[in-house]
């Protein structure tokens, strides 16, 4: 696929994309190069927590770009020190390592757990992960993921990731051996279709891992940074994990992610971990600007309230069209369509100028900006309602 204006073929063809080329964003809206406007409930896959190109982020980036882009990861820089301290102050963790992507943060979490096993548990290295889980696209994080489509790919996988079932403690207990060093999970499985671990399951996992001397790793790349109405999702369950990874929202749209650990779990020695762009001041300045907004108590309260509003509106649409449950928390929600009609809805919504995501053939996922307004939610709901009405009419005629 290519045309005179858009040399599509120069990019590796790694996924099916619509031909629209996006050129501008502001808040909940995106524009393509024909001037068409779209209401965006995807937001870069739950990345733009303050919406598209928020002025506070643009200003922080411009100011830092004029000051210092990168001194080298072998030297300290002020924004990374400040952001690490702010994250430590707001969480149960003591140390931070910044990365450029979520997968790299999770790769770091896996290495940290293996190092801990080497130092404290006779070389134990297995990390129990979950069916349906998604942790990234490096070889180790694909191996840690429980995504069926990954199974035949890029063999041989990295070994040492036995899979348990979410919300089934016995399935975790059965996998614990003297080779086990950690349990790792997403508090809400996002890519699998927004399947939450219950707060009780998270508490039981914390007790189980403590009883066996294992590390508990939460992958909060999708759920962290206010997405579910708390700064970090683990706070809902009242637990304190040993390791957490953050990504997506932490940079508000720029490539920033982080690996956080308690002092006891922070066992990297010099040479174990690093990377050219890790903790560069430009991205960390963005992270500071984001945290300053998202970390405020009234902002988090409004995320929780807006999430309840979106859930109740989705519930209304679901009841009206005979669809299934609403799952998720805060502004990470899914509508179970009960039939494989998600791709068709996404395509029609795109035509109608609304962007929605379908992580599964029968599931729609909603991950708007955390400052999305009720009017914007109402517009998206009207669009969805109209599409479902059309589809219902088409089904009746057929
Ligand atoms: C829970 C979770 N972990 C890890 C990742 C990988 O992050 P990245 O795409 O930044 O490597 C994602 C991305 O969707 C995610 O949702």
The one-digit pLDDT tens for each residue of the chain (398 residues) are 567 688 999 999 999 999 999 999 999 999 999 999 999 999 999 999 999 999 999 999 999 999 999 999 999 999 999 999 999 999 999 999 999 999 999 999 999 999 999 999 999 999 999 999 999 999 999 999 999 999 999 999 999 999 999 999 999 999 999 999 999 999 999 999 999 999 999 999 999 999 999 999 999 999 999 999 999 999 999 999 999 999 999 999 999 999 999 999 999 999 999 999 999 999 999 999 999 999 999 999 999 999 999 999 999 999 999 999 999 999 999 999 999 999 999 999 999 999 999 999 999 999 999 999 999 999 999 999 999 999 987 776 66
The Cα 33–Cα 72 span in angstroms is 37
Cβ(221) – ligand 1 distance below 6 Å: yes
- Secondary structure of 163-178 as H, E, C letters: EECCCCHHHHHCCCCC
Report if pTM > 0.95. Answer: yes
Three-state DSSP state, 241? coil
Q: What is the pLDDT of residue 370?
A: 98
Centre of ligand 1 from the C-alpha of residue 67, in Å: 30
Cβ(101) – ligand 1 distance below 6 Å: yes
Cβ(103) – ligand 1 distance below 6 Å: yes
The Cα 339–Cα 62 span in angstroms is 47
Q: What is the pLDDT of residue 167?
A: 98
Q: What is the pLDDT of residue 1?
A: 58
- Residue 270 near residue 109, CB atoms below 8 Å: no
Q: What is the pLDDT of residue 392?
A: 86
First to last CA, the chain: 33
Task: Give which of 258, 250, 251 is closest to 278, Cα–Cα.
Answer: 258
Centre of ligand 1 from the C-alpha of residue 102, in Å: 5
Centre of ligand 1 from the C-alpha of residue 103, in Å: 6
Q: Which atom of ligand 1 is nearest to the CA of 191?
A: 16
Q: Which atom of ligand 1 is nearest to the CA of 141?
A: 4
Question: Atom 7 in ligand 1: which residue has the minimum CA distance?
Answer: 102
Ligand 1 site-directed mutation target among 49, 102, 146, 190, most atoms within 8 Å of CB: 102
Question: Atom 16 in ligand 1: which residue has the minimum CA distance?
Answer: 222
Centre of ligand 1 from the C-alpha of residue 220, in Å: 9
Q: Which atom of ligand 1 is nearest to the CA of 45?
A: 14
Q: What is the pLDDT of residue 398?
A: 63
Q: Which atom of ligand 1 is nearest to the CA of 257?
A: 10
Question: Atom 9 in ligand 1: which residue has the minimum CA distance?
Answer: 102
Cβ(192) – ligand 1 distance below 6 Å: no
Q: What is the Cα 20 distance to its own chain's centre?
A: 24
Centre of ligand 1 from the C-alpha of residue 227, in Å: 14
Centre of ligand 1 from the C-alpha of residue 2, in Å: 29
Q: What is the pLDDT of residue 5?
A: 82
């Amino acid at each position: 696929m290519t045309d005179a204006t858009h040399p599509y073929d120069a990019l590796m063809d790694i996924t099916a994309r619509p031909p629209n080329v996006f050129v501008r964003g502001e808040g909940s809206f995106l524009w393509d190069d024909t001037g068409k406007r779209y209401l965006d409930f995807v937001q870069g896959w739950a990345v733009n927590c303050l919406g598209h190109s928020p002025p506070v982020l643009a200003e922080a980036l411009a100011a830092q770009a004029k000051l210092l882009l990168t001194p080298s990861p072998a030297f300290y820089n002020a924004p990374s020190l400040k952001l690490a301290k702010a994250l430590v102050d707001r969480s149960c963790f003591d140390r931070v390592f910044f990365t450029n992507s979520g997968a790299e943060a999770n790769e770091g979490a896996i290495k940290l757990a293996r190092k801990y096993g080497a130092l404290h548990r006779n070389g134990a290295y297995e990390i129990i992960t979950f069916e349906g889980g998604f942790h990234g696209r490096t070889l180790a994080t694909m191996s840690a993921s429980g995504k069926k489509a990954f199974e035949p790919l890029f063999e041989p996988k990295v070994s040492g990731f036995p899979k348990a079932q979410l919300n089934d403690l016995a399935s975790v207990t059965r996998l614990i051996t003297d080779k086990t060093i950690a349990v790792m999970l997403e508090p809400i499985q996002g890519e699998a279709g927004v399947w939450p671990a219950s707060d009780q399951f998270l508490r039981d996992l914390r007790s189980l891992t403590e009883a066996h001397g294992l590390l508990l790793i939460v992958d909060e790349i999708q759920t962290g940074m206010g997405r579910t109405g708390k700064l970090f999702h683990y706070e809902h369950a009242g637990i304190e994990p040993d390791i957490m990874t953050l990504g997506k929202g932490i940079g508000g749209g720029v490539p920033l992610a982080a690996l956080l650990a308690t002092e006891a779990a922070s066992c990297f020695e010099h040479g174990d971990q690093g990377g050219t762009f890790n903790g560069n001041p430009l991205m960390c300045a963005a992270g500071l600007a984001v945290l300053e907004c998202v970390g405020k108590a009234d902002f988090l309260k409004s995320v929780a309230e807006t999430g309840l509003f979106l859930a109740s509106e989705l519930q209304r649409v679901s009841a009206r069209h005979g669809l299934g449950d609403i799952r998720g928390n805060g502004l990470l929600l899914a509508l179970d369509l009960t039939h494989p009609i998600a791709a068709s809805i996404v395509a029609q919504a795109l035509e109608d100028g609304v962007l929605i995501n379908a992580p599964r053939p029968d599931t729609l996922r909603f991950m708007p900006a955390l400052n999305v307004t009720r009017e914007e939610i109402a517009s998206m709901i009207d669009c969805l309602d109209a599409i479902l009405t059309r589809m219902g009419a088409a089904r009746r005629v057929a």
